[in-house]
Amino acid sequence: MDSIITDTTALSAVSRGWQLGDGHFTTVHAKHGQLRHWAYHQARLTAACTRLQMPMPDWAAVKARAQACLDVKADQVLRITLVRGAGGRGYSMQGCTDTQVLLNTAPFPAQYYQWREQGITIGVCQGRLGNSSLLAGLKTVNRLEQVLLKAELDAQHWPEALVLNSQHQVVEAVTANVFWREGDVIYTPDLTELGVWGTLRAWCMDYLGARLVHTQALLPRVLAADEVWLSNALIGIVPVTGIIEPNTGTNTKTEHLNVAELTITRELQQAYEQTN
């Protein structure tokens, strides 16, 4: 049976993906039929298969079928979801020898280009992320924390927001990773115990090299930064022009984070646009 599915209605209701959230995914910017940063997406999927002990699919076949799904004249989003095939009873993986690959596309949100140029003002979520060392870094199909955090975004009418852990340390944004600059030093949260290791985060780490420091930081430190930006495979590199402090509703950062002074953000944007 073909294990690459382009019609998601073909996935059985008794699938481990539906019943247990036993799968993972990546979301790719597909512009005019080209899969942007495919090497990083394949690396993410490969690492997740290894950690989740899922059989590895044929990546050449996955890429070929994915490209066949695309409209070469359109700007699109491609989601690639891998779900463990049927087998063992209950939680057991015994007998699960197959991995199903699901492909689906959607139009690319045009506002992301405006975000990159003009920046966005973001909030700070009241909801907190829990530590999960077994799944840290992975983008599993169980996104219930993010579903609840997105509900908070929608209620506040924020485009994005920072999310903290139970120790009040900054982890990431609801759908993106976060970076900031203090003087000449660039920081991003240490995601050893939780969070998502985004593909564009990985690209930023490779590009910045020794200039980037992983740290654990409380919110006031990020609020005082000289420059803050978000990254994911769809929004790209987006400057943060304001952060609405929790409990006060006061946007204290709009004037402090001046788009014209976002030197590292603009450097990353330029380098990102020159890569495939």
Picking from 128, 227, 146, the residue whose alpha carbon sits closest to that of residue 186 is 227
What is the C-alpha to C-alpha distance for residues 245 and 142, in angstroms, rounded to an integer?
29
Which residues are bridge partners to 238 per DSSP?
230
**Cα distance between residue 218 and residue 4, in whole Å:** 43
Q: Which of 36, 122, 49, 110 is nearest to 81 (CA)?
A: 49
Q: Which of 27, 81, 175, 241 is catalytic?
A: 27
Q: Would you call 245 a catalytic residue per the annotation?
A: no
How buried is residue 248: exposed, middle or buried, by Cβ count under 10 Å (0-12/13-18/19+)? exposed
Residue 27 falls in the annotated catalytic set = yes
φ, ψ for residue 194 (rounded to 5)?
-170, 175
**How far is it, in rounded angstroms, from Cα 47 to Cα 144?**
22
Query: Which residue of the set 99, 172, 227, 241 is catalytic?
Result: 172
The active-site residue, picked from 26, 81, 99, 139, is 139
Q: Is 172 an active-site residue?
A: yes
Catalytic residue IDs: 27, 139, 172
